[in-house]
Amino acid sequence: MMKWLAGDDAQIAIFDASNVTIQRRAKLREKVNAAGGGISIVFLESICTNEEVIRGMKMWKVQNSPDFVTMSEADALKDLEQRIEHYEKCYETVLENEGAYIKMYDLRAKASVCNVYGRMAQSVL
């Protein structure tokens, strides 16, 4: 991703990863800063408390992710729920002092935005 972003045609990249701790996000920022090139980060955090939405997203993940292609639906759901439980134990919400972020709530139009400046970041928003 960093190599691609350094190219002339690159504008926005979405690094889909579970950067669930302040420490992991700090390491990602260090890598980006070390690469130079004026690349900036906007963390996207999805916060979902709506049980119906959560259930629907779990089913979508189980039915569409290559991680679960060889598993029964019941086994895949169990595996996914164990992964979620693991992340919930170590999860740390994105904080203002970490830089720019967008927090989306229940996959709807409600968002909380902090330190988002510039045309590209606003385009992501």
Mean pLDDT per 10-residue section of the chain, whose length is 125 residues: 79 78 92 81 90 94 95 96 93 92 88 84 73
The rounded distance, in Å, linking the Cα atoms of 20 and 9 is 30
pTM, entire model:
0.80
Percentage of the chain lying above the pLDDT 70 cut: 98
Nearest to 86 by CA among 23, 17, 18: 18
Q: Please report the pLDDT score of residue 116 as a whole number.
A: 86
The rounded distance, in Å, linking the Cα atoms of 4 and 16 is 15
Q: Please report the pLDDT score of residue 31 as a whole number.
A: 87
**Burial tier of 76 (Cβ tally within 10 Å: 0-12, 13-18, 19+):** buried
Q: Please report the pLDDT score of residue 119 as a whole number.
A: 77
Q: Please report the pLDDT score of residue 123 as a whole number.
A: 76
Q: Please report the pLDDT score of residue 95 as a whole number.
A: 94
